[in-house]
Amino acid sequence: MRDFNLSERLYKDSWLARYSPKRVIRRVKELTLKQAIKKAGIYLLLLSLSLLFVGPFLWLFSTALKSSSEAIMQFPPQFIPKNPTLKNFIHVWNVLNLDRFMLNSVLVTGFTVLLNVFLSAAAAYPLARMDFFGRDWIFYAILSTMMIPRQLTYIPLFILMNKIGLVNTYAGMILPFGVEAFGVFIMRQSYYSVPEDLENSARVDGANEFQIWWKVVLPLVKPGMAALGIFVFIGSWSRFLWPLIIAQDKSRYTLTVGLEFLQGFFTGNWRYIAAGSVISVVPIILFFIFTQRFFIEGLSGALKQ
Amino acid sequence: MVNRKSYVPFMFLGPGMVFLGIFLFYPTIRLFILSFHKYDMITPMEYVGLQNYQMIVSDPKFHQAFLNSWIYLLVTPILIVISFLVAILVNRKLPGISLFRAIYYLPVVTSMVVVGIAWRWMYQQQGLLNMVLKAVNFPGAPFGFLTSTSLSLPSVMWVTIWKGIGYYMVIFLAGLQAIPEQLYEAGRVDGANFWQLHLHVTLPQIRPQVVLVFILSSINALKVFTEVFVMTKGGPLDSSLTMVVYIYRQAFDFFKFGYASALGVIIFLSILIFSIFNMRRSRGGQAIR
């Protein structure tokens, strides 16, 4: 079992490293003409599809860069701003508490990730490693919660939060998503992929169950924890309906709710709306660039390492 | 396995179970109870029997939302076809292919609020989409994509499709990569062309993935909220109103928590029956590994 070094692995597997100009040129030289035409066709298709998927984002970005002297709805459309400016970003940042929204999103997402990783890792351990009465039933009960459409529970959940005084608090935003069946499932799979010998030898040495879990087993399932953390991060960062319900004033808005508010606040001023959207999307795009293989290659690929 | 004190497993399980109990099981049960009550969070809860359900039957707005949500299910076959084709396209070893996969996946990781805003901007009367359509002299352009009652729902549905393609592409991709190469070689020897190969070799092999995508995307379609809320708020004239948006309105605009819960129960049961039916029919157990 080699050491799990996340950053190094993410770089090595990134397209940045894999497709350096040198390597690309060498491969192009090895082609025959017929292959080359077919490949060019495929790349053309791939590129036009890329335009479909990043186009709306790029258009938003281009709009955000346009100064107030430049028309944003003219025909024909101007894709590259004539006098690109950062004024819109600065204005939006200053007028709205975008930094506050950002901070709230970071806090809520951070704690949600920590809670999920910790609670799932703990709950999945006995489900994978111990033999006790009702184990399978408990696992099925946890799995069955995947069938519950979460948004539908928000009404009673809101009433509950109101009763215990957690409306408009960080705790109210974080706790309901502290653990999910999905996470327990992933962690259970991770434990299964780790051999039991180490635990047994630790047990012979007289360690108690908690020590074994914390010091011996947990370090071995770090890849699973990382994968889970990444998935929870994305889910939490883009969560909208629950923060919309539970955050009652602007000081508690997350970025998604803040953006929806911004959309109403700057009605029709698309330069500002676009600038706010771009600001909110930058962190997630950066995050995605470094973790994309976890998504594209699927969970099983990520866990196999 | 060794003998342990019987409470040990529950020390590990405890915290997680408490969370699930309080924040998931309890609200689910309360949803059903609440649906038989009248409650606005100010006056005490009042038992009204089946009154909420009777109101639903004769609520024209609910009929509209219910119909729209079922129309919304049309995104499912479209998503299956497009994602499958895109998966075939990116299922090859080419320099830079992982970059393209990542690009197609980008909308999946972006929040629906940003995606909704980006597309609302595309959809404007003077927006990019209308400009392009005008430039190619498309008959009828410019369109009021989000402002006409006939176009608002399809326009929002397209955003759901656009954002989902990457996600389902990855599921199909996993299925495609598990198909043994010999099957294709045998097909080629028999003289099958590109489309015949995929129709007779690929499709039967990735049936579990088709079922999985079908179930996931249809459940998501029935639960749709954010894209509608961000882009149209259900308008104009409720033409894009879906069930969850309607529930949100009833609960958090009008504080009719009992009525909203009854609506929730209806959707809950629809989704449950729908997914159980589909899993049964297709022996979905093999699809969800």
Model confidence over B159-171: pLDDT tens digits? 999 999 999 999 9
**B110 confidence band (pLDDT: 50, 70, 90):** very high
Restricting to B residues 70-99, those with a Cβ less than 8 Å away from any Cβ of A are 86, 89-90, 92, 94-99
Is the pLDDT score of B113 beyond 80?
Answer: yes
Model confidence over A126-182: pLDDT tens digits? 999 888 888 999 999 898 888 888 889 999 999 999 999 999 999 999 999 999 998
- Convert B186-204 to b/e letters by CB count within 10 Å (16 or more is b): ebeeeebeeeebbeebbee
Q: Is B9 touching A (CB cutoff 8 A)?
A: yes
Average pLDDT over residues A251-257: 93
Least confident of A97-111, A198-212, B161-175: A198-212
Q: In chain A, which residue's Cα lies nearest the Cα of B257?
A: A155
Backbone angles phi, psi at A71, to 5 degrees: -65, 140
- Tell me whether residues A263 and B99 touch, CB distance under 8 A: no
Nearest to A15 among B17, B96, B165 (CB): B96
Backbone angles phi, psi at B96, to 5 degrees: 85, 0
Strands of chain B (E only): list them: 37-38, 46-47
For residue A219, the distance in angstroms to the closest alpha carbon of chain B comes to 17
Is the pLDDT score of B197 beyond 80?
Answer: yes
Q: In chain B, which residue's Cα lies nearest the Cα of A135?
A: B9
- Chain A residue numbers touching B43 (CB-CB < 8 A): none
Q: Is B50 touching A (CB cutoff 8 A)?
A: no
For A93-304, CATH number? Answer: 1.10.3720.10
- Tell me whether residues A56 and B121 touch, CB distance under 8 A: yes
- Tell me whether residues A49 and B244 touch, CB distance under 8 A: no
- Chain B residue numbers touching A292 (CB-CB < 8 A): 98, 102, 105
Average pLDDT over residues B182-208: 87
pLDDT for res B162: 97
Which ipTM did the prediction report?
Answer: 0.87
d(CA A280, CA A262): 12
Between β-strands B37-38 and B46-47, what pairing exists: parallel, antiparallel or unpaired? antiparallel
Q: Is B141 touching A (CB cutoff 8 A)?
A: no
- Tell me whether residues A273 and B117 touch, CB distance under 8 A: yes
pLDDT for res A302: 46
Restricting to B residues 177-206, those with a Cβ less than 8 Å away from any Cβ of A are none
- Chain B residue numbers touching A155 (CB-CB < 8 A): 27, 31, 34, 247, 251, 257, 260-261, 264
pLDDT for res B64: 94
pLDDT for res A9: 61
- Tell me whether residues B104 and A27 touch, CB distance under 8 A: no
Identify whether the C-beta of residue A255 lies closer than 8 Å to the C-beta of residue A283: no
- Tell me whether residues B104 and A53 touch, CB distance under 8 A: yes
Helix (H) or strand (E) holding B185: helix B181-189
Nearest to A138 among B13, B219, B223 (CB): B13
Q: Is A65 touching B (CB cutoff 8 A)?
A: no
All structural domains of chain B, each given as residue ranges with its CATH number in brackets, are 60-286 (1.10.3720.10)
Q: Is A25 touching B (CB cutoff 8 A)?
A: no
- Convert B134-158 to b/e letters by CB count within 10 Å (16 or more is b): eeeeeeeebbbbbbeeebbbebbbb
Model confidence over A6-60: pLDDT tens digits? 566 666 656 666 666 777 777 677 777 878 888 889 999 999 999 999 999 999 9
- Chain A residue numbers touching B11 (CB-CB < 8 A): 210
Q: Is A50 touching B (CB cutoff 8 A)?
A: yes
Q: Rg for chain A (alpha carbons), in Å?
A: 24
Least confident of A6-10, B47-51, B53-57, B139-143: A6-10
Percentage of chain B exceeding pLDDT 70:
95
pLDDT for res B4: 60
All structural domains of chain A with their residue ranges: 93-304
pLDDT for res B276: 80
When the pLDDT of each residue in chain B is averaged and rounded to a whole number, the result is 89
Measure Cα distances from B131 to A60, A71, A73, B191, B207 in Å: 15, 14, 9, 46, 41
Q: Is A273 touching B (CB cutoff 8 A)?
A: yes
pLDDT for res A8: 62
CA angle A104, A108, A113 (to 5 degrees): 145
Please report where in the chains the tokens 């996931």 appear, as a residue. B216
**B118 confidence band (pLDDT: 50, 70, 90):** very high
Is the pLDDT score of A83 beyond 70?
Answer: yes
- Chain A residue numbers touching B112 (CB-CB < 8 A): 238, 240
Residue B160 in tokens: 């759901």
Q: Is A38 touching B (CB cutoff 8 A)?
A: no
- Chain A residue numbers touching B103 (CB-CB < 8 A): 50, 53-54
pLDDT for res B248: 94
Model confidence over A225-241: pLDDT tens digits? 988 998 899 999 999 99
Average pLDDT over residues B7-25: 92
For residue A68, the distance in angstroms to the closest alpha carbon of chain B comes to 17
Helix (H) or strand (E) holding B175: helix B152-177
- Tell me whether residues B95 and A24 touch, CB distance under 8 A: yes
Nearest to B24 among A15, A148, A260 (CB): A148
- Three state DSSP letters for chain A: CCCCCHHHHHHHCCHHHHCCHHHHHHHHHCCCHHHHHHHHHHHHHHHHHHHHHHHHHHHHHHHHHCCCCCCCCCCCCCCCCCCCCCHHHHHHHHHCCHHHHHHHHHHHHHHHHHHHHHHHHHHHHHHHHCCCCCHHHHHHHHHHHHHCCHHHHHHHHHHHHHHCCCCCCHHHHHHHHCCCHHHHHHHHHHHHCCCCHHHHHHHHCCCCHHHHHHHHHHHHHHHHHHHHHHHHHHHHHCCCHHHHHHCCCHHHCCHHHHHHHHHHHCCCCHHHHHHHHHHHHHHHHHHHHHHHHHHHCHHHHHHHC
- Tell me whether residues B102 and A292 touch, CB distance under 8 A: yes
Q: Is B127 touching A (CB cutoff 8 A)?
A: yes
Q: Is B162 touching A (CB cutoff 8 A)?
A: yes
Q: Is B127 helix (H, G, I), strand (E, B) or coil?
A: coil
**B287 confidence band (pLDDT: 50, 70, 90):** very low
Nearest to A296 among B25, B94, B105 (CB): B105
Euclidean distance between the first and the last CA atom of chain A, given in angstroms as a whole number: 9
d(CA B133, CA A129): 60
- Chain A residue numbers touching B226 (CB-CB < 8 A): 240-241
